[in-house]
Amino acid sequence: MISHNVLDQLKAIVGEKNVFADTISVSSYSYDATMLSGTAMATVFPVTTEQTVHLVKYLDSVNIPLVPRGAGTNLSGGTIPMENSVVVNFSRMTKILEIDTENFVAVVEPGLVNFDFQVELEKYGFYYPPDPASYKATTLGGNLGECSGGPRCFKYGVTRDYVLGLEVVLPDGQIIQTGGRNFRSEPGFDLTRILVGSEGTLGFITKIFLRILPKPAAKKTMLAIYNEVEDASQTVADIVAAGIVPTTLEMMDNILINTAEDATGAGLPRDAGALLIIEIDGHEVDMDAQVEIIAEICKKARVREFKIARTVAEVDQLWLARRVVIGSVARRRPSYSLQDVTVPRSMFPSAVKEIVKVRKDYNLDIGILAHAGDGNFHPLVLFDQRNKDEVERVHAVEKHICTMALALGGTVSGEHGIGLLKKHFIEMEFSATAMESFKKIKSAFDPNHRFNPGKIM
């Protein structure tokens, strides 16, 4: 419980309508998109940097930790409130401060929803490449916190590659600016990079300078359907080896094809072993030659059907299936555990094989979804959280898959972050020296462990 005195102070800082400490509100900020939960003392919505500074300084003075939050769609437990903390909710800081298409820069507040930003950019013929599957709901601040990826990373990179600069409130209440408006990097510690993906453990982002790009002149979306998932994974390896850099190489296996089809009725073949969505973009005159090479590669890998989307509607339909696939598994089983391991691309076929094996060994439904071009897997382990035995097997599978990824030279998190969920696996990935280095970073920024306690380490 939070004391009246603290509550009054918080209200004085952000205003009556931006502080909530009733049971219902507190309970509503106890979760995110994982199965974890915690308990906050209160939720506050700062709407300016100055308010954020005051909140940080005040809460520091009364020894209350702070947990940042946007839309709470993350898949790592990064926004689960720990240790009786106050949730600092940035979702009411939604302004687009500037869109400067001439200089490829946009300045936004952290609570702006990725989708709302894209809609605005669209008016100028521009876009912002990182678009995680949840982009319709996620805030950009949250995207930065977790360093989100999305299906376009193969060619365009992840969130960190589009952040030019930040305004940050440090745990001692000090405001700093890192980077700037320029794309050229600067000598010195790259503070911007260490902050992106730090899940709010080092500082709270209150203003973001982003790089935006003009929409590519041309784009081709292809669909390749396979009888066997192994053939799809061979295609991925071959495309990369051929030196083609698609914007997207997404893979879904039979289980997910079916759940996505249930949700969308997009017309996906229910009996296929796997499918790949392949997208390339660039200059109009370069498209056909690349499509030809890709078609050839698919053919060699025993593709059953190879389609090129002819209309915008066809393209949208393909993407719709991909975007809803994670949620759609609930049609099969009520709960899912979403993994986020990455392996080197050459290990992609081995990883697919291993996951197919795990499916049998643990007797669990596991749908395989992958940003295949990046080697980033999202195996979806399906179960019912009310079934204790199943839950235990799911945890065993989680560990198995992480261990596999590390054994194949990969990582336990490709784009979702560590949060609470992967904390137990992070020591498997990093040496003691690396863990010690992380602690040094944390100590330099937040010696009193005030910001998002318990996350990452």
Partner 1 sequence: MGVLNDVYEMLNTCNKCGFCLTACKTYKTDLREPMSPRGRIQLIKKLADGVIEPDKDYEDAINSCLLCGECAVACPSGVRGNDLVLAARRDLKLRKGGIKPFTKSFALKTLASPSRLEHGFNLFRGVGKGILNRIDGLDYFRGVDVKGMPVAKKPFMDQVPEHITVNNPKKKVAFFVGCFLNHSLDGTAHSVVKVLTKNDCDVIIPKDQVCCGLPQYAYGDFETAKENARKTIESFLKKDIDSVVTACASCGSMLKEEYLKLFADEPNYLPRVKEFCAKVFEFSQFVEEEIELDKSKLKSHTPVKVTYHDPCHMVRHLKITSQPRQVLRSIPRLEFTEMNEANRCCGASGLVQAFYHELSTDITRQKTKNIVDSGAEVVATSCPACMLRIQGGINFAGQKQKVVHVADLLAKAYKSEN
Partner 2 sequence: MNKAMAQIKGLIGEGHVVDSVAEMAKFLRGNGKPLAVVFPGSTAEVSGLVKLANELNLKIAVGGQVVESKGLDGGLALVLSRMNKILEIDHANLVATVEPGILHAAFVTKMEEEGLNFPPEPFAVETGSVGGCFAIGDTDSKAFQYMPTRTYLLGYEMVLPTGEVLDIGNKCIKNVSGYDLIHFAVGSRGTLGIFTKLLIKLLPPPEVKYAVLADFASIHKASIAFTTLIKRNIHPTRLNLINATLAKNTFPATEGNLVMVDLEGFKASTELLAEEISSVFKLAGAKNIRIVTNADEYVKIWRAWLSLRGELNTQDVERILDINVGPMKMPPALKALEEITGDLAGYPGIVLEGLLGHIRMLLPTAAEKNQLAGKVNALAMSFGGNVSGVLGSRLVCEAYNDAEMWQGITSLINQIRKQFDPKGILAPGASL
CA distances from 202 to 9, 44, 47, 169 (A): 24, 19, 20, 9
**Residue 433's binding partner out of partner 1, partner 2, none, with CB under 5 to 8 Å set by partner kind:** partner 2
Q: How far is the CB of 74 from partner 1 (least distance, A)?
A: 9
Chain centroid to Cα 64, Å, comes to 28
Q: Which is nearer to partner 2, 180 or 269 (CB)?
A: 180
Q: How far is the CB of 328 from partner 1 (least distance, A)?
A: 5
According to the binding rule CB under 8 A, does residue 295 interact with partner 2? no
Please name the residues in contact with 390: beta carbons below 8 A apart, sequence gap of 6 or more.
Answer: 364, 383, 384
Q: Which is nearer to partner 2, 231 or 415 (CB)?
A: 415
First to last CA, the chain: 26
Binder of partner 1 out of 147, 153, 257, 263 (CB under 8 A):
263
Q: How far is the CB of 63 from partner 2 (least distance, A)?
A: 21
**Residue 409's binding partner out of partner 2, partner 1, none, with CB under 5 to 8 Å set by partner kind:** partner 2
Binder of partner 2 out of 131, 250, 261, 415 (CB under 8 A):
415
71: nearest Cα among 134, 153, 132: 134
Residue 142 tokens read as 């949250």
**Residue 344's binding partner out of partner 1, partner 2, none, with CB under 5 to 8 Å set by partner kind:** partner 2
According to the binding rule CB under 8 A, does residue 92 interact with partner 1? yes
**Is-contact 347 408, C-beta < 8 A?**
yes
Quickly count: other Cβ atoms within 10 Å of residue 334's Cβ. Answer: 13
According to the binding rule CB under 8 A, does residue 252 interact with partner 1? no
According to the binding rule CB under 8 A, does residue 95 interact with partner 1? no
Binder of partner 1 out of 5, 23, 363, 431 (CB under 8 A):
23
According to the binding rule CB under 8 A, does residue 91 interact with partner 1? yes
According to the binding rule CB under 8 A, does residue 214 interact with partner 2? yes
According to the binding rule CB under 8 A, does residue 184 interact with partner 2? yes
Residue 108 tokens read as 């936004």
Place of tokens 């019912």: 384
Q: Which is nearer to partner 1, 113 or 224 (CB)?
A: 113
According to the binding rule CB under 8 A, does residue 37 interact with partner 2? no
Binder of partner 1 out of 73, 206, 233, 247 (CB under 8 A):
73
Residue 342 tokens read as 């990455």
Q: Quote the radius of gyration of the chain (alpha carbons, Å).
A: 22
According to the binding rule CB under 8 A, does residue 6 interact with partner 1? no
Three-state secondary-structure class, residue 276: strand
Distance (Å, whole) CA 336 – CA 332: 10
